[in-house]
Amino acid sequence: MKIFLGDKLVDEKDAMVSVFDHGLLYGDGVFEGIRAYNGRVFLLDEHIDRLYDSAKAIALTIPMSKKEMSDAVIETCKANEISDGYIRLVITRGVGTLGLNPYLCDKAQIIIIAAKIQLYPQELYDKGLRIVTVGTVRNHPEAINPRVKSLNYLNNVLAKIEAINAGCMECLMLNHKGEVAEASGDNVFAIKNGVITTPPSTCGALEGLTRNKVMELAQAAGYEMREAPMARYDLYVADEVFLTGTAAEIISVVDIDKRDIGDGKPGEITGKLAKMYHDCANSEGTRIQ
């Protein structure tokens, strides 16, 4: 496999970063997870925009223009003959001292990995997910803002540990006020009486690109789409609940904290939205060849 490292493609065996890289020492950096479908990179510009916004929020200068970055992503896909896959874009603060001071770091390190994707088992889509609410509260917005897709994912990792310990693949995270935020690596939506609601990013959600695309598709299809604060109650009594994310796409939630959601089966509107999303992902995007 060829990895884009710094400013060029290198062999996987040569794709090494320093033990003094602050991405490793402090989780100091940002990342993106991107999908390629049918020889096209889906939502590439949107991912690049979010990457640069995350970097700006943590005062990290990416030593490459947005155009150069998208070209590097395409080049990495080409070099690995990826037409359907998963792209991980990582920017670290770079090599520094053993102290926190990011100003003592060299320039930021750029890593792009384009690999085959490990899809979730089809059974999860057919039957839906069971999730639990976890005790780990989403990052406070005035600590590391949850909109920053930072390399410091301990908050989400702790939530994921709780989910797995409870026998679930995903979980529901609340914010510091007890409002619904999101899952550990996905956004959450509820449907009640045909109205689709998702928490605004100010409630502690990452502004997911799958989320944004689903909101756009739902509106275009004539559904009433709202961004509003939600309590767990709103999810418990919803007709349908689903999660969205680049890797998972759209997946039904059929049980939350041992409450059946709707009739306990994947919902009809969720199915329609998933179909619209697939059609879109398979036909739009930046061409690799």
Q: What is the distance between the alpha carbons of residues 133 and 196, in angstroms, rounded to a whole number?
A: 21
Give the torsion sign (CA, 75, 80, 81, 82): negative
Buried b (16+ CB within 10 A) or exposed e, 143-161: ebbbbbbbbbeebbebbbe
Residue of 2, 149, 160, 213 marked active site: 149
Q: With the CA atoms of 161, 165, 169 and 170 taken in that order, what torsion angle do they form, in degrees rounded to the nearest 10?
A: -60
* Closer Cβ to ligand PXG, 109 or 187, answer by number: 187
| Residue choice 80, 136, 244, 286 for contact with ligand PXG (CB under 6 A) | 244
Choices 103-111, 121-129, 185-193, 256-264; region in contact with ligand PXG by CB under 6 A: 185-193
Q: Is 208 in the site for ligand PXG (CB under 6 A)?
A: yes
Whichever of 76 and 184 has its CB closer to ligand PXG, that residue is 184
- Out of 201, 246, 252, 270, the only residue in the binding site for ligand PXG (CB under 6 A) is 246
Given a contact cutoff of 8 angstroms between Cβ atoms, the answer to whether 169 and 124 are in contact is: yes
Indicate whether 288 belongs to the interface with ligand PXG (CB under 6 A): no
- Please count the residues of this chain forming the interface with ligand PXG, following the rule CB under 6 A: 15
Question: Nearer Cβ to ligand PXG, position 87 or 110?
Answer: 87
State yes or no: residue 209 binds ligand PXG (CB under 6 A): yes
Quick one: which of 93, 190, 183 has its CA closest to 146? Answer: 183
CA distances from 91 to 64, 72, 102, 112 (A): 11, 13, 13, 9
Q: From residue 148 to residue 167, what is the string marking binding to ligand PXG with x (rule CB under 6 A)?
A: --------x-----------
Distance CA 90, CA 30 (A): 6
Instruction: Please say if 149 is a catalytic residue.
Output: yes
Q: Which helix (H) or strand (E) holds 275?
A: helix 268-281
Question: What binding mask, one character per residue, do residues 30-69 give for ligand PXG by CB under 6 A, x or -?
Answer: ---x------------------------------------
Q: What whole-number distance in Å separates Cα of residue 244 and Cα of residue 124?
A: 14
**In angstroms, how far is CA 153 from the centroid of its own chain?**
11
Choose the stretch contacting ligand PXG; rule: CB under 6 A; options: 19-27, 75-83, 202-210, 266-274.
Answer: 202-210
Site of interaction with ligand PXG (CB under 6 A): 33, 156, 182, 185-187, 206, 208-211, 244-247
Give catalytic residues, as residue numbers. Answer: 149
